């Protein structure tokens, strides 16, 4: 087998084996399946790396939800002022849980309140509360 054929075979192997492994790792390690549908993990990155993930959350009015806020890179915060939530600093690599019951249907902005990057002002998301 020539070197180019060996390299091609190795690349095919990596794609065929690597893709399912990457998908499995993402689903089971990076983004674990939620045991509680009202527990919502939110990864927080600087805006240039993705900002709030997810940046839009939909919930049902009257149901208690728990946000699991994890700062992935630098110190962030989480403000959802329409519901009186202001976490203060969330240090890199740490997770903070916030539990509340949204009762008013509507769309509410959330944001980071700690200047975390040159595009900090874009660190926003939306909580959509359905009736």
pLDDT of 25 above 80: no
Give me the CATH topology for the region 36-130.
Immunoglobulin-like (2.60.40)
pLDDT value for 21: 55
Q: In which order are the strands placed within the sheet that holds 39-44?
A: 52-53, 39-44, 65-71, 95-100
State the greatest distance between any 2 C-alpha atoms of the chain, in Å, as a whole number: 68
Every domain of the chain and the residues it spans: 1-33, 36-130
Regarding predicted confidence, which is higher, 122 or 23? Answer: 122
- Summarize pLDDT for 42-58 with one digit per residue, the tens: 999 998 989 999 999 99
Q: Is the pTM of this model over 0.75?
A: no
How far, in Å, CA of 42 to CA of 23, rounded? Answer: 19
- Whether 71 and 52 have beta carbons less than 8 Å apart is answered as no
């Amino acid at each position: 087998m020539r070197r180019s054929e060996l390299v091609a075979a190795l690349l095919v192997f990596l794609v065929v084996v690597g893709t399912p492994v990457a998908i499995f790792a993402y689903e089971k390690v990076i983004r674990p399946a939620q045991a509680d549908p009202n527990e919502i993990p939110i990864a927080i990155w600087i805006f240039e790396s993705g900002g709030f993930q997810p940046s839009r959350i939909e919930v049902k009015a009257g149901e208690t939800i728990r946000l699991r806020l994890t700062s992935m890179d630098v110190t962030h915060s989480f403000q959802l002022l329409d519901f009186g939530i202001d976490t203060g600093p969330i240090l890199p690599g740490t997770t903070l849980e916030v539990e509340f019951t949204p009762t008013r249907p509507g769309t509410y902005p959330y944001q980071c309140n700690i200047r975390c990057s040159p595009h900090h002002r874009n660190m926003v998301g939306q909580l959509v509360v359905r009736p």
